[in-house]
Structure 1
Amino acid sequence: MTTILSIDQGTSGTKAVLTDERLEPLAVALHDVRPRYLPGGGVEQDPAALLASVLGAGRQAVAEAGRAPDVVALANQGETVLAWDPDTGRPLSPAIVWQDRRAGSVTGPLAPRAAEVAARTGLPLDPYFSAPKMAWLRAHVTTGGVVTTTDSWLLHHLTGAFVTDVTTASRSLLLDIDRLDWDEDLLGLFGLDGERLPRLVRCDEPVGTTSAFGPPATVAGLVVDQQAALLAEGCLTPSTAKCTYGTGAFLLANTGAEAVRSAGGLALSCAWRTAGESAYCLDGQVYTAGSAVRWLTDMGLLASAADLDTAAAGGSGGALCVPAFAGLAAPWWSPGAGARFEGLALATRPGHLVAAVLEGIAAQVATLCATVARDTGAPIGSLRADGGLTRSRALLQAQADLAQIPVEVHASEHATALGAAALARLALDPGLGLAGAAPAGPPSAVVTPRWSADRAADHLARWQAAAGAASAASPHPAPYAQGATA
């Protein structure tokens, strides 16, 4: 029987899930990784800690199951980058996390080229993506070695290969989204001429073997974490969508074989590329979801994330929150925007602020759902959901109320890992096809709207006005923004 070790290397930790060939979990291990939040919008991770978490979590899962893997899959953060020595594998810089905003100094002067960049890449010109961070590292940290996303570095340590998958590359601002190949003109635009870039591979393409977790095992099933969850949740046809509520919240909607450009500021990416097919997706981001909850606990407004629903039970009491603790992404693309509370009174209590933060996350996701519907001409019928914050019924109810659609909670806590495992399974047995490799079972719960459509529209209008004010108050104007209305 085939055994798959799927590693989900995320912002706040690395999860390793060992499954059988039917993707039934045999063992799960989680090793925490805590980012460093710096003044000026910097967010960094220690590369050595990332690698140690991958090896540690993987080996722990293997030991607990008492079975070595036949194949190892890797889901990655997408836009986190570092510089490293390709001869020794030694890191030459910290890992600059996707939340880091310092590369605004790179994107700002390029604002006149924003429309051209969006046409070629499908992405807004924003420091969230990889290329501006790569250019910032070259300007401020080191000109040595290579500068890549973290997946290439981790795969080098596992296999010796120098590769990245197409979904990860599609988050870089360096990939022609129609040809799904590196674009030399874009390299020049970001001052990265002559950089050695990883070889592009399919998500189901074997890239080598690793002995890091036992006897030599094939390495395949390479994908960005959010696209992995999209696959695991069965979003295989156009207009099916999911949202992962983790450190941030990430809405992805399948657009099929068509590379649909967004008129509303959403990002267009490759959903997956396999030997059998390629698909695209539109996505929008809420930069701070779980990290906004962590802020609530750090500020003493909440005892722990486990107390979210108890604290929020009384509602927001008229308070509004725009949770832009690390700027606003789609459709505002305002990296300098700050978090904003409105409607506070002497009667406002900590629980009201907790509820306002949850409603703020849900309102931003609801805005993204409406933007997808306008871009594709087809409404999202239901929203599939995964991630740690789906444990909060208050958040799920706010999401259903504000988006005015049912929210279907994925039955497994390991959607990202299972999506990567499905691609690894497909590498071993191409005849399965995507639907056969990634069977999506029924949801563990379905949360339906309680609010009327009028109440939801009124709340969203107030919230979007507050988000617009937060964006307008930003000291760093967005190089690419489309506004936001539901």
Structure 2
Amino acid sequence: MHHYLAIDQGTSGTKAIVVDDAGQVVSIAEVAVRPEYLAAGGVEQDPEALLDSVVSAGRKALAQAGVPVAAVALANQGETVLAWDRRTGEPLTPAVVWQDRRAESICGPLSEAAPMVAQRTGLVLDPYFSAPKMAWIRANMTTEGVVTTTDTWLIHRLCGAFVTDASTASRSLLLSLDSVEWDDELVGLFGLTGEALPEIVGCDQIVGSTSVFGPTIPVAGLIVDQQAALLAESCLEPGDAKCTYGTGAFLLAQLGSKPTRSQSGLTTSVAWRLRDRTSYCVDGQVYTAASAVRWAVDLGLVPAADQIDSAAAESSDGVLCVPALAGLAAPWWDSAAAASFTGMTLASGRGQLVRALLEGIAAQVAALADLVATDLAQPLTRLRVDGGLTQSAVLMQAQADLARIPVDIYPSLHATALGAAACARVALDRDLDIADAVGTWTPDHTYEPAWSADRAEEFMSQWMRAAESVRAQKETTAT
């Protein structure tokens, strides 16, 4: 029996697990990291704190498990970037987090190139992705060193390699989706010509070895966080879909070997590259999920995040919430949008507002599910879900009601780390089938839709009008 150390380096924390061949988690260690929210849409993290969290969480998990591990795998945040000295490994800037909007100044002047960018990369020209942040760092922070996503820096600090995996590279706006190689014209578009870019490797490549956790072990199993969860939840066939409810909510659906471009404002990325074969996925993002709940807690609407269900009224009584507290992502891509509560009366209490907030998160995901179905030319038949907010029965029931499909709760809170561990297993055992590396699972609970189709459609049409109004309102005030 082999064991693997799998590390999920996220926005609000780093989680390390030790897991065996059967997918059984032997130990878990978590270390919190806190992003700093700045004026003008800035969000930053201390890179050394990220590294420290990876090392300390990994060491704690290994100490608890008390078993040797065959490899360490790393799942990463995806679009968080920094500049650093390749010779010393020292960070030269803070890490500019995926939520950071300051690279609007880079994207605005390039708007005419947006159709070309979408066709080449499968992505939307938006500050959410890595290249605008890389260009913004070069324009505003430093021209020294290299500028890369955090995974490249972390792996360099672990084992000296200068690499990024194909799934993370596909979130950069610099990758040709069809060839899975850096695109020189795109690199030039963002003013990054001459920059040293890391080697793109498969998610199942052994990229080096490290002794920072104690014994020397191979580093293998590199993948971006949302795609790692897609893999862990066995979304291996076209049309299989999952949503992760973390800081934001992320809906991904497997496309198979064809990088079909979204016709509805979603994005197409590399799901993973395993056994020298590339799988693709279509995905939609909701910027605020757990972060919206945290906002409600900070405001005093909810006593604590784990009391969200008891704080929610039985019905929102006509109150609608568009929880665009950090703008609207897919398919609107309007970072200037603001959140709204509408339909309130003197009878509306905090319980109605909390219910409306949860229904608003579910409505955004339901809207994405409908768009994914359009891109796939087939309706989704069920939705697999993971992440901390799946513990909210109110949210999950609303999700089933509004998306009008069953919602299967993944039985582990560690989908991202388990997906990375599966990549490491594939790396170390060349004869192992990918489906066998992932293993099978049974939902903890399945939420069936309770609302009628008419009721769900009426709610969604009202909610979509509310979403449009938070955009229009911003646009009119901006002019």
- Fold-level similarity (TM above 0.5): yes
Q: Confirm or deny that 1:386 pairs with 2:416.
A: no
Preserved contact between residue 156 and residue 162 of structure 2 (Cα < 8 Å): yes
Q: Confirm or deny that 1:368 pairs with 2:368.
A: yes
Measured after TM superposition, the shift of residue 440 of structure 1 is: 2.7
Deviations 1:20-76, CA, capped at 9 Å, x for gaps: 222211100011111111111111111111011101100000011112322000000
Measured after TM superposition, the shift of residue 184 of structure 1 is: 0.5
Q: Confirm or deny that 1:465 pairs with 2:465.
A: yes
Residues of 1 paired with 2:409 and 2:477: CA distance?
37
Deviations 1:269-318, CA, capped at 9 Å, x for gaps: 00010125211000000000000000001111111111111011422221
Preserved contact between residue 73 and residue 222 of structure 1 (Cα < 8 Å): yes
Q: Match of 2:202? A: 202
Residues of 1 paired with 2:56 and 2:315: CA distance?
41
Q: Match of 1:408? A: 408
Q: Confirm or deny that 1:155 pairs with 2:155.
A: yes
Residues of 1 paired with 2:477 and 2:63: CA distance?
51
Preserved contact between residue 336 and residue 477 of structure 1 (Cα < 8 Å): no
User: Which sections of structure 2, spanning at least 5 residues, go unmatched?
Assistant: none
What is the aligned-residue RMSD (CA, Å)?
A: 1.3
Q: Match of 1:140? A: 140
AA aligned to 2:302 is L
Q: Match of 2:55? A: 55
Preserved contact between residue 202 and residue 276 of structure 2 (Cα < 8 Å): no
AA aligned to 1:399 is Q
Measured after TM superposition, the shift of residue 259 of structure 1 is: 0.5
Q: Match of 2:304? A: 304
What are the residue-to-residue correspondences of 1:328-339 with 2, within 5 Å?
328-339=328-339
AA aligned to 1:381 is T
What are the residue-to-residue correspondences of 1:76-475 with 2, within 5 Å?
76-475=76-475
Measured after TM superposition, the shift of residue 475 of structure 1 is: 4.9
Residues of 2 paired with 1:433 and 1:339: CA distance?
45
Residues of 2 paired with 1:436 and 1:15: CA distance?
24
Cα 1:259–1:372, aligned 2, differ >3 Å: closer, same or farther?
Answer: same
Residues of 1 paired with 2:143 and 2:468: CA distance?
39
Q: TM-score, normalised by structure 2?
A: 0.98
Measured after TM superposition, the shift of residue 477 of structure 1 is: 12
Residues of 2 paired with 1:345 and 1:76: CA distance?
44
Q: Secondary structure in 1 aligned to 2:307?
A: helix
Residues of 1 paired with 2:146 and 2:233: CA distance?
35
Superposed structure 1 runs of 4+ greater than 6 Å apart: none
Residues of 1 paired with 2:144 and 2:476: CA distance?
30
AA aligned to 2:156 is H
Measured after TM superposition, the shift of residue 348 of structure 1 is: 1.3
Aligned length: 478
Q: TM-score, normalised by structure 1?
A: 0.97
Deviations 1:226-285, CA, capped at 9 Å, x for gaps: 000000001000000000001100000001001111110101000010125211000000
Q: Match of 1:484? A: none
Preserved contact between residue 313 and residue 394 of structure 1 (Cα < 8 Å): no
Deviations 1:3-26, CA, capped at 9 Å, x for gaps: 200000001100000012222111
Residues of 1 paired with 2:338 and 2:84: CA distance?
33
Preserved contact between residue 8 and residue 16 of structure 1 (Cα < 8 Å): yes
Cα 1:145–1:11, aligned 2, differ >3 Å: closer, same or farther?
Answer: same
Q: Secondary structure in 2 aligned to 1:473?
A: helix
Percent identity over the alignment is 61
Residues of 2 paired with 1:5 and 1:205: CA distance?
16
AA aligned to 2:431 is G
AA aligned to 1:329 is A
Q: Secondary structure in 1 aligned to 2:432?
A: helix
